[in-house]
Every structure is written in C-alpha cells, then in structure tokens.
Amino acid sequence: MPQETAEQHPKPHPPAVDLRLAHSPDSDDAFMFYALATKKIPTGNLTFTHMLEDIETLNRKASAEEYDITAVSFHAYASLSDRYILMSSGASFGDGYGPIVVSRAPVQGGSLKGKRVAIPGKKTTAYLALRLYEPEVETVETRFDEVLDKVIKGEVDAGVVIHEGQLTYGSYGLAKVVDLGAWWQNETGLPLPLGGNVIRKSLDPATIRQADEILHASIEYALEHREEALAYALQFARGLELSNAEHFVSMYVNDWTLDYGERGRKAVQTLLDRGYQAGVIPQAITAEYVSS
C-alpha cells in the first residue's frame, strides 16, 4: 500500500482573524504603525482594521473593550489590567522629558498648589504625573488639542500639554512651569512611561503572540526605514515643520519603543506603585506583558 505524504494532506491554513486596532492620530503613532498600515510587512492570517482616536477617547473605549488592540495611557492601564495585557513593544517613554505644564506668566518656584489646571483627560499619564507633582490642584478636563487655547484665553491658570504642544507652546508666548518628565526623572532616576499598546486577554493565545510579533516588526521596519516612515508620519503632524516632526517622533519612538527592557518595566511598575500610594490609582497593580 503506497505511503501517504505530507503533500497529500497539507496542514489547513489557520482561519483569518481581523483585529480592531486603535491608536491616536499623531505622528509618533503613525510612524510606529507605518509598516502595518501600508502593508510593508507580512501579517499571516491576521488582518488589521485601523481606527484613530485621541488618547483619552481610547482610554475610555478600552474600558468597554471596543478594540482588540489599542494604545492607552499607562494610568488608564491600571483600570484595564483585568481585560488587557501590555504588548512587549510600542511604548512611549519620556527620557528626561514629558508632558509640560505651561502658563501665560512665569510661576514662581513652579508651585501649582490651588491652581486651576487644564488636563487632557483624567485617565492620561499626564494627569497622574501632575497629581504626583502637586496633589492639590483643581483640574479642568480639556481635549488635548484645546489645552493651549484655554491657557492663552486665561480660562485656566495653567495647562498640561502633550503631543506636539510640547514643542510649540513657546511660539504662543507661554512659559514653562515644569516639565513633568524631567521632574519624574529627578525623583526616580527613571524615564516617565506615558503610553503603551495593549491587547485583549480573551483572544486566542496564539493570536496574541502573533500580533505582538507583528507590532514589533512594524516598529523595527520604521526605525530601519526612517525617511519613508517619517514622510508618512508627517501627514499626522498637525502643522509641525519637518525638523520639529522628526524631533517629536525621535522623542517617543526609539529603543524604548522596540523593547521595554528591565529599566523600562521598572519605570512602569514604579509609576503604578506611586499612583496607588498617592491614592490616584485605587488598587495596587502589577504590570503584565505578552511573552513570546
């Protein structure tokens, strides 16, 4: 009787899986997801439907598990860790820099006690860092791209700027009160973890691992093909000049983004622990990561 071969009974292809992937419409995220969005890398049986939302909207929608993979603030992750796990790459760290508190006039000694401060959302890491810096502030939730306007109009005493506002606030005649990333590094000796990518724990473990590898490959491709990835990311740079856009992307997509490393993971855990100790995060959280 002739022996059957593997060619006669090929392994069935795994079923196609479409994943809803959400991130913010910013140049750093666009750079990170360039290879994936433009199909520069193979994705096997996985397909990705991209959705763009501002970070606080992503934080809120993650609570309802609207997306399979999403960018979230590390502060928001604290309330999502039962449903989502951190992917092993894709994080943004401020290494000696980060969200900046600005005001119309210089603030003596950087004191914000009792001040009315615009924040880009209560689930953002910017808000958590502000509360760790000064617990006694009155906060006004404001869409991230309207914070500068509120400060300029005098509707608030100060505002926490994220994204491109960190590079452009001076052009509006505003003064820096404190760079929360620099303050955090002085306090802890660590970079400030701002946001990361998470994936739903309820997905098939093989899908989770495969998606994690694909995200890593997308970031690696962008870092290795910097010029073309930057050209793509520029359309999301909200009016930044090329040099500023390049600077902004390099601030938040770098070796930390490709791999947290031991120091990066320590920074995340320190942020979560300090948030809990300060009463801003309601329960103690141990960060969990996808492992290959």
Domain ranges of the chain: 17-93+192-277, 100-188
Residue of 203, 198, 197, 289 lying closest to 252 (CA atoms):
197
- Cα of first residue to Cα of last residue in the chain, in angstroms, is 43
Instruction: Report the C-alpha gap between 199 and 289 in whole angstroms.
Output: 10
pLDDT in tens, 86-125: 999 999 999 999 999 999 988 887 889 999 999 999 999 9
Q: What is the pLDDT of residue 259?
A: 92
Same topology between domain 17-93+192-277 and domain 100-188: yes
Q: What Cα–Cα distance (Å) separates residue 132 from each residue in 34, 135, 202?
A: 34, 6, 33
Give just the sign of the alpha carbon dihedral 77, 289, 94, 108.
positive
Element (H, E) at 246: helix 242-252
Q: Into which CATH architecture does domain 17-93+192-277 fall? A: 3-Layer(aba) Sandwich (3.40)
Q: Into which CATH architecture does domain 100-188 fall? A: 3-Layer(aba) Sandwich (3.40)
For strand 46-52 and strand 92-94, is the pairing parallel, antiparallel, or unpaired? unpaired
Following DSSP, what letter does each residue of 164-226 receive, concatenated? Answer: THHHHGGGGT-EEEEEHHHHHHHHHSS-EEEEEEEEETTS-HHHHHHHHHHHHHHHHHHHHTH
Q: Would you say 147 and 127 are in contact if contact means Cβ atoms under 8 Å apart? A: no
Structure tokens at 292: 């290959």
The residues carrying an active-site annotation are 163
Length of the chain: 292
pTM exceeding the 0.85 threshold for the entire prediction: yes
| Residues of the chain under the 70 pLDDT cut | 1-12, 237-241, 292
pLDDT in tens, 218-258: 999 999 999 999 888 888 766 666 777 788 888 888 888 99
